Structure 1
Amino acid sequence: MRNITTLFLIILFSFSMFADVSHTEKDALLKLYHFTNGNQWKVKWDLTAPVSSWHGVKLQDDKVIAINLENNNLVGEIPEEILNLVSLQELDLHKNQLTGSIPSSIGKLKEMKVLNLSFNRLSGIIPSSVCEMTNLKNLELYMNAISGELPMQIGALNQLEILSLFNNEIVGQIPTSLYDMKTLKTLLLNSNKLSGTLSNEVVNMTSLENLSLFDNKMNGQVPLELEKLDKLKEMNISYNMFNGLISKNLAVLDTLNMTMINDKGVAVLLEVNNVKNTAIASED
């Protein structure tokens, strides 16, 4: 009986050693490797070895749940086959040389919690299907060449904590649904081409700690409701075309003390009236 038990354990151990992902998932990884010039990566995959040994790939129950290949010299495009990794919870391709666009159906990756494609050369729009990734906690697409408008239903990401899209070519207004994101802690939309106003509904974003709208084309009244965001520690909304009354508290909170651009293209400073808590714009 002891010999039989020992033999069973050996077989079980051997099976676990050689267990691997499905053909579909392995093919998706191979497509990623070949589409991004894998033979020139800093840390390459040994395609003859088990997937579990491949750099940056994390498995759970023989499913790929994470890919972390940041700063690994990936050159090329993200293949559509990446969408076959349906258990993927984290995709981090930060600081590579990826081109092309984000796969339009990326919302199929329902388990995704962290999507970081920042510091690449991606273009095109943010697909509306991103709004279907309701488990997302971290969405970082900054420092690319992404254009178009923010998806209208972005507020559906009701677990999102970090939205970092700075240094792109994003246009249009902030969707009203974004103000419903009560879990959002960091919102970085600076250095884009956003226009329109900042709604007073920003007061609903009760978890917000860091807000940056610096260097856009936004206008209208600076919402005094910003003062009601008790957790807000960092803010930079300067170098827009905002105007109107501000308080001393808001002026101090803003990194550049509310330096705006007027309709003549001149930098103006919203000065605070400490007595009446009102503001006037004066050219510097």
Structure 2
Amino acid sequence: MKTLKLIAVCLFTTAYSFASISSSEKEALIAFYNSTNGDQWNASWDLGADVSTWYGVTIENNSIVELNLPFNNLQGELPQEIGTLTNLKKLNLGFNKISGVIPASLSNLKELTSLELFMNALEGNIPSELSELKKLQSLKLYSNKLSGDIPTELMELTNLKELLLGSNFLTGTIPTNINALSKLQKLSLMDNKLEGEIPTEIAQLGNLEELLLSSNNLTGDLPIEIVNLTKLNTVMVSDNNLKQEYISVSGKNPPGIMSINTNATAVLDIEKE
């Protein structure tokens, strides 16, 4: 009798474990697995096993909240089904070989706080639909093959602390409404094909710590107003078409003064309080 009860408990536990994830979320993961050649991953999934055992998948309250698969040899494209994982808070697929475009269905992931797709081979435009991810704090799309303008709609992501879009093929200008990102700490647009002047509105980003704009086609001057950014400790604006030539500086010079570059004729010091 005790043996039968034990078997019944085990069967119930197993059934409950498999039933804890919705079928739509599991189907979305399988579509993702198939679309990115899951059988070739460095750490693959046993599709016959419970989802809770799958590498890089984090489950809370019977929902998938994180998908972390960096350095895992993902190849292929991201499927539209990924937008079904509506409870996802973190998506990290960095350092892989994912190609194709960023699916607009990612806009369905309203709980997402971190979207990391850097160091892949993604192409096409940055979807303006990403502006619907109002809880997003970190957007890392650097080192891909993305093109087109920086969507002005991204400036609606007012919880962003990191906006890293460097090393792509982005064109156009830096949005002047960038000052809406009042919580921004790190801004990297380096190594693109951006034109126009550096907007003075950047000087309104009071929490900014890193400003990386080097290796573009930016013109004009580095706005003197950035002297007001008391938290700024890294500035890279070299290799542009600015009126004055600046070196790139990282760190704080004693006593709390950061020298942003300069030759003998162009010196800009930022005094910190």
User: Which TM-score applies when normalising by structure 1?
Assistant: 0.71
| Paired letter, 2:239 | M
Where does residue 37 of structure 1 map in the other structure? 39
Distance 1:273 1:104, change over 3 A: same
What is the correspondence of 1:106-255 to structure 2 with a 5 Å cutoff? 106-248=82-224, 250=226, 253=232, 255=234
Superposed, 1:51-70 pairs within 5 Å as 52-53=52-53, 55-60=55-60, 63=62, 65=63
Indicate conservation of the 8 Å contact 1:90/1:114, yes or no: yes
Q: Residue 220 of structure 1: CA displacement?
A: 0.6
Task: Write the distance in 1 (CA, Å) between the matches of 2:236 and 2:47.
Answer: 53
Q: Secondary structure at the match of 2:196?
A: strand
Larger gyration radius, structure 1 or structure 2 = 1
Code of the aligned partner of 2:149: Q
Deviation of 1:111 after TM superposition, in Å, equals 1.4
Give 1:130 deviation, angstroms. Answer: 1.3
Contact 2:209 2:234 in 1 (8 A): no
CA contact (8 A) 2:91 2:114 kept: yes
C-alpha displacement of 1:259: 1.1
> How far does the alpha carbon of each residue in 1:23-51 deviate from its partner, in whole angstroms, 9 at most, with x for none?
9466776774895227x85587595x655
Cα distance change, pair 169–255 in 1 and its aligned pair in 2 (3 A): same
Please give the alpha-carbon distance, in whole angstroms, between the structure 2 residues aligned to 1:224 and 1:208: 15
One-letter code aligned to 2:134 = N
Distance 2:18 2:154 in 1: 37
Shifted more, 225-234 versus 241-250: the winner is 241-250
Letter of the 1:103 partner, please give it.
P
Q: For residue 259 of structure 1, what is the aligned residue in structure 2?
A: 238
Q: Is the 8 A contact 1:45 1:55 kept in 2?
A: no
Residue equivalent to 1:90: 66
- Separation in structure 2 between the aligned mates of residue 145 and residue 171 of structure 1, nearest angstrom: 12
Identity fraction in percent: 34
What is the alpha-carbon distance in structure 2 between the residues aligned to residue 238 and residue 123 of structure 1? 26
Within the candidate set 5, 18, 21, 1:21 is matched to 18
CA shift at 1:273, angstroms?
6.2
Amino acid at match of 2:184: L
Structure 2 residue matching 1:259: 3-state secondary structure? coil
3-state SS of the aligned residue for 2:166? coil
User: What do you get for the CA RMSD once the two structures are aligned?
Assistant: 3.6
When residues 257 and 150 of structure 1 are mapped into structure 2, their CA distance, relative to the original with a 3 A threshold, is closer
Distance 1:243 1:250, change over 3 A: farther
Whichever residue aligns with residue 192 of structure 2, its letter is N
Q: Secondary structure at the match of 2:115?
A: strand
1:121–1:209 distance in 2 versus 1, CA, 3 Å: same
Unaligned runs of 5+ in 1: 1-6, 66-87, 278-284
Q: Distance in 2 between matches of 1:106 and 1:98?
A: 15
